[in-house]
Chains A and B, each alone.
Chain A
């Protein structure tokens, strides 16, 4: 289903005003219409990705994209790699385990090295908040943030918004509950920013030990009670709970977390009929989400989110390299 708000990207007036950023560091720098612009552009790529066997559009042919992942990742890295390759770019992956690249000076040195190899775009993930900005300030090419610490994960928020828009026909005026470990989650931060910016009511549902301070300043309401928090929600967005949070420091046990915050079919009944269930993956089945909810195709959007991820990343790579490729109107 293509949403009625969609316009082909070519309908936007030329002049480079549609997305005025060299990098994609976070949702915090974006306007609502810039988010819509990316989502609209991504819709086209969804169509291409679904159209039979040949999925190539070689507009990025000859460009080099480096995926520099300083933190382990499987799905995000794969998603960016596929996005780059479908656009015809030469994609190179660099895995740097945290142990070998620990010192920041090495981080900047690494960035300078990659820069000297004349990458045309860099996709960077790092375990430390602000690390991607630090690199972006030092290199000559567009930088896409694939997740920095607890700070931002903008492409995840964009793909989530696209998923919601396609499923519910709009991504404004909705009630969206973001549930789980918000404190340590960059996915939550980017989604809070994007979804409030687009005009939705965003709720945070989390144990007090995993709720960041000053949430009222982020224009969200917080709930410690899951049943109350997801009541009448259009979207229930679950977050992954890292194993190390369940060892007693933040939560007594996985068992207790599931009892109080796990998304069960019964609990989901509190949400609106037809409410969708999202999860950025990878899931801890039986901890934050029950399998029967995760695997219900009428409610769960989990595989669709993965699909939208590729389309959104193709859109971002295309848009951010337009200046470099001399696309008319983008200078």
Chain B
């Protein structure tokens, strides 16, 4: 399909300078182009923010309406459903977003995600996998994890790991603390995370293979990441807004929408997460989008499945981090787009000539209220239900093609 050139004017680049941007052949052609170089469809952004489309690293469903609402142009799909442990499955998943969403499947690290035998990571890479993931759980066997890391590394792929020691967390649905005790919920100590990270960091030091911890949510875990980065180990980590804005008090009244994996932590840990997002320890902010219907959530707390529908609230909660002074707008879009693009090795995630024209316009100020009953996602399991927020994507382009 021939795309006509596009000119976006009067937009504030990442909330900063007012710019115009020219798009040709689905790619960013020029920032502040000289006047009238021929015909172009012109959009007056009216002072809204111009930003790269969000790249959501680690979602559990290809839920287009939610991604489109949230300004997400690319979603890296976790291998759990399937699981994505073969080239054919990866190829099909990669096509699952066409034509208006990029889906980047993450290859299952082991066959059936059972943590025992290496999956065909090389063939899955050829089929379109952009990274390797251990899924919802970690690989318990250190020997297997070591082989996964070194094998993926040789293929140029990062391993995306889950950080919870399964021995400590078995059967647990909450973090040790007053809330879990009062509610009578089986809980595990928060150090389960730091223990898992320690092991994997040793393996990274040994193999030199890159690793990304999808969610690091505790002070001790973040301290380990900070120290590893100081040693220049190839380590990155991410988080979702839930652990930045909520602590385990949110599970009071047995609210299953706040049942997450890893579970919500103490208020002290939450503050450590905010500090880590401010000082650069955390590299990626993702939605963890995992829509769950009433059959999975309208249950007694311990029987409900973990997960939240996060795609629609990701941008608004990110903008809250800006308003609260934890990050600058430019850093926010590093967390939401540039850093995930780097991990996945895709030519997107920033606004620079030559890159894919995955763009969003952001109305950063308009207030709205999160409402579980009015979600675009196919299930409304958000722990932010009822919360007043500000900001949303008003227009989006994927490869220069207007989606919204």
Contact = CB atoms under 8 A, between A and B. Distances in A.
Contacts of A259: none
B78 to A, nearest CB: 25
A49 to B, nearest CB: 31
B181 A104 contact: no
A214 B183 contact: no
Contacts of A214: 176-178, 180-181
Interface stretch (A123-131, A170-178, A316-324): A123-131
Interface in A87-106: 103-105
Contact of A105 (B185, B186, B295, B301): B295
Contact of B178 (A149, A152, A218): A218
Q: Which of B178, B254, B295 has the most CB of A within 10 A?
A: B254
B178 A105 contact: no
B376 interface: no
B143 interface: no
B303 A212 contact: no
B181 A218 contact: yes
Contacts, number: 76
A133 interface: yes
A107 B299 contact: yes
A153 to B, nearest CB: 10
Contacts of A217: 177-178, 181
A103 B300 CA distance: 9
A126 B185 CA distance: 14
Nearest to A185: B184
A133 B298 CA distance: 12
How extensive is the interface on chain B, given as a class?
A: 20 to 34
Contacts of B187: 213
Contacts of A78: none
Contacts of B178: 214, 217-218
A192 to B, nearest CB: 10
B253 interface: yes
Given A105-B294, A129-B254, A151 B184 contact: yes
Given A104-B300, A129-B300, A189 B180 contact: no
A28 B182 contact: yes
Interface in B144-185: 176-178, 180-185
Nearest to A128: B300
A85 interface: no
A86 to B, nearest CB: 31
A186 interface: yes
A209 to B, nearest CB: 13
A108 B300 contact: no
B302 interface: yes
Interface in B183-208: 183-187, 189
A103 B299 contact: yes
A313 interface: no
A152 B299 contact: no
B181 A105 contact: no
B304 interface: yes
A104 B300 CA distance: 7
Nearest to A135: B300
A152 B185 CA distance: 11
Interface in A213-231: 213-215, 217-218
Q: Which of A126, A128, A218 has the most CB of B within 10 A?
A: A128
A133 B253 contact: yes
Given A104-B304, A130-B254, A213 B177 contact: yes
A186 B182 CA distance: 10
Q: Which of A104, A107, A148, A215 has the most CB of B within 10 A?
A: A104
Interface in B278-309: 294-295, 298-304
A189 B301 contact: no
A152 B182 CA distance: 9
A129 B254 CA distance: 8
Q: Which of B178, B182, B295 has the most CB of A within 10 A?
A: B182
A128 B177 contact: no
A101 to B, nearest CB: 11
Interface string B229-255: 000000000000000000000000110
Nearest to A127: B300
Interface string B345-361: 00000000000000000
Contacts of B184: 129, 148-152, 186, 189
Given A186-B184, A213-B177, A213-B180, A129 B295 contact: no
B189 A129 contact: no
A145 to B, nearest CB: 11
Q: Which of A130, A186, A189 has the most CB of B within 10 A?
A: A130
A134 B187 CA distance: 20
A28 B179 CA distance: 12
A130 B181 contact: no
A321 B91 CA distance: 62
Nearest to B253: A133
B230 to A, nearest CB: 32
24 contacts: A103-B295, A105-B298, A105-B299, A107-B299, A128-B301, A129-B185, A129-B300, A129-B301, A129-B302, A130-B300, A131-B300, A133-B253, A134-B254, A134-B298, A148-B300, A149-B300, A150-B186, A151-B183, A186-B184, A189-B181, A213-B189, A214-B181, A217-B178, A218-B181
The 9 A-B pairs of least Cβ separation, nearest first, read: A104-B299, A130-B254, A151-B184, A150-B184, A128-B300, A213-B176, A217-B178, A131-B300, A129-B184
